[in-house]
Amino acid sequence: MARGGPAWRDGGLHDAAVVAGVVLLLAGLLVGRADVALLGVPALLATVFSRTRPPAGPLEAGEDPAAGEAAGGVESRVHVGGGELAHVRASAAGHRVTEFVARLPAGGRRFGLRLASVRTGPQETAVVDVRGYDGVWEHDPLTVGGTGRLVLPSSMRLGAVPVPRSLRGVTGPRVSRRFGDGNELRDIHPFVPGDRLRRIDWRATARRSPDLDTLYVRRTFADAEAAVMLVVDSRDDVGPDVRTWRGYGEQRVDEATSLDLARHAAASVARALVEHGDRVGLVDLARETRPVPPAAGRRHLRRILHGLALAHPVGQPSPRVRPPQVPADTLVYLFSTVLDDAAAQLVRTWRSLGHQVVVVDTLPDVRPVTEPHLAIAWRIVRMERALRLDRLAREGVPIVSWAGSGRLRAAASLEALARVAARKRDWR
């Protein structure tokens, strides 16, 4: 809450009204026009009335408390009270300045502000400057807003996505290759000690053993669930403009960066798996914290989205002695720009440990570079990156591009990989 002092100051309108009233009175007397002289009387009376009636209270302005996290943009509400009129000026980095004048009722007034942006993660609300007016009185500007918000990433609906070959658990939405309780029939087998009586198939028994010498049971495949780890390479956050990669200039709010694409892609994959009943975990490469273990449920999906929104670069990227440990029998989704050899080395290490890996390329579509020295640097980086991706592809690592121009193709690619995995049961 920002509160002004009890004293308002004269905004200069008092002197102007007095001068205008005196001029009109003198002009009317000089030219002998009573109507002209009477025009100055309201200005003088209003000035006297305003000077004898100071504002009832100080100017107040504040930002209404809101949830610390939201989805779909940065919204805030500002309330202003005290005075008759308010001149409001809202500004935010990357957005144009908005100004308006509003009349204030007795109980004050609230204004809703929303920043249109495709950016996610930690963001700030608009900074609002409020100047109050009450008759001839004027109040110094008050500044409110600029508080932190956490914008959760959005997601797109995906079909089937790749899951690991080895399933886990004794229950779940998928059919495993081992015996157990399930819905998919494996075979009809003679009753042996340990079989449950409710598994007896009386029709098969009557057909194969009319004298009931041998009982037959229906054996099924056990139901299980898949476990997937989402690994977000948040060590860097680059946009479509190569000039901003050096840390100079601001990235546009209407253009998604590589980390925005990584958050969106990871949220989409997590949503598809959780809705199917599978387990999902999260690893942030930039922060040396414990990974979020695989779990299922909508509450856990909210936890994954919160972790994705908090992913951001932390200082200079430090080399890892070993890759993050992921549980056995899990498939790893790596969301990275692959701008250095560290990402490719992580993929090879995980594959050597028996994990299946899918690389999701999150580098945005880079705009053409006009500066000669930057054009040469970007050409070298682009060629080195293409060689890394080509080597990984030749080693059998699926690579899916999630750039703005190929997002729909990425969804189709993931669905095609899922069909291949279901058909071969081993696409490593």
pLDDT tens digits for range 101-155: 988 888 888 988 888 888 888 888 889 999 888 766 778 888 888 888 888 998 8
Q: 140 lies in a domain? A: yes
Answer yes or no: do 123 and 145 share one domain.
yes
Which of left, alpha, beta for 407 (phi over 0: left; psi -120 to 50: alpha)?
A: alpha
Q: 165 lies in a domain? A: no
Q: 307 lies in a domain? A: yes
Answer yes or no: do 416 and 294 share one domain.
yes
* φ, ψ (nearest 5 deg) of residue 157: -75, 125
Please report how many Cα atoms fall inside a 13 Å half-sphere around the Cα of residue 17, on the Cβ side: 19
Answer yes or no: do 264 and 384 share one domain.
yes
Question: Over the stretch 306-357, which tens digit does the pLDDT of each residue have?
Answer: 999 998 887 666 666 567 788 887 889 999 999 989 899 999 999 988 888 9
- The pLDDT assigned to 249 comes to 73
On the question of pLDDT at 11 being above 60, the answer is no
Question: Over the stretch 238-290, which tens digit does the pLDDT of each residue have?
Answer: 889 888 887 777 788 888 899 999 999 999 999 998 888 888 999 998 877 78
Work out the angle at residue 358's Cα, subtended by the Cα atoms of residues 328 and 332, and round it to the nearest 5 degrees.
25
226 pLDDT band (50/70/90 cuts)?
confident
Question: Is the Cβ–Cβ distance between 335 and 232 less than 8 Å?
Answer: yes
Answer yes or no: do 258 and 320 share one domain.
yes
Answer yes or no: do 345 and 205 share one domain.
no
The token pair at 102 is 């509003």
54 pLDDT band (50/70/90 cuts)?
low
Domain CATH for 97:
2.60.40
Q: What total number of domains does the chain contain?
A: 4
Answer yes or no: do 139 and 255 share one domain.
no
Q: 123 lies in a domain? A: yes
- The pLDDT assigned to 133 comes to 81
Q: 159 lies in a domain? A: no
Answer yes or no: do 270 and 309 share one domain.
yes
Closest CA to 77 of 46, 55, 108, 40: 108
Answer yes or no: do 261 and 303 share one domain.
yes
Answer yes or no: do 396 and 313 share one domain.
yes
Answer yes or no: do 43 and 85 share one domain.
no
Q: 4 lies in a domain? A: no
Residues in the chain, overall count: 428
Answer yes or no: do 110 and 233 share one domain.
no
Burial degree of 91 (CB within 10 A; 0-12, 13-18, 19+): middle
First to last CA, the chain: 58
Domain CATH for 319:
3.40.50
Q: 156 lies in a domain? A: no
Burial degree of 244 (CB within 10 A; 0-12, 13-18, 19+): middle
Question: Is the Cβ–Cβ distance between 267 and 230 less than 8 Å?
Answer: no
Answer yes or no: do 208 and 240 share one domain.
no
Q: 125 lies in a domain? A: yes
pTM here? Answer: 0.77
Residue-number span of the structural domain to which 213 is assigned: 176-224
Which of residues 224, 246, 263 is at a domain's end? Answer: 224
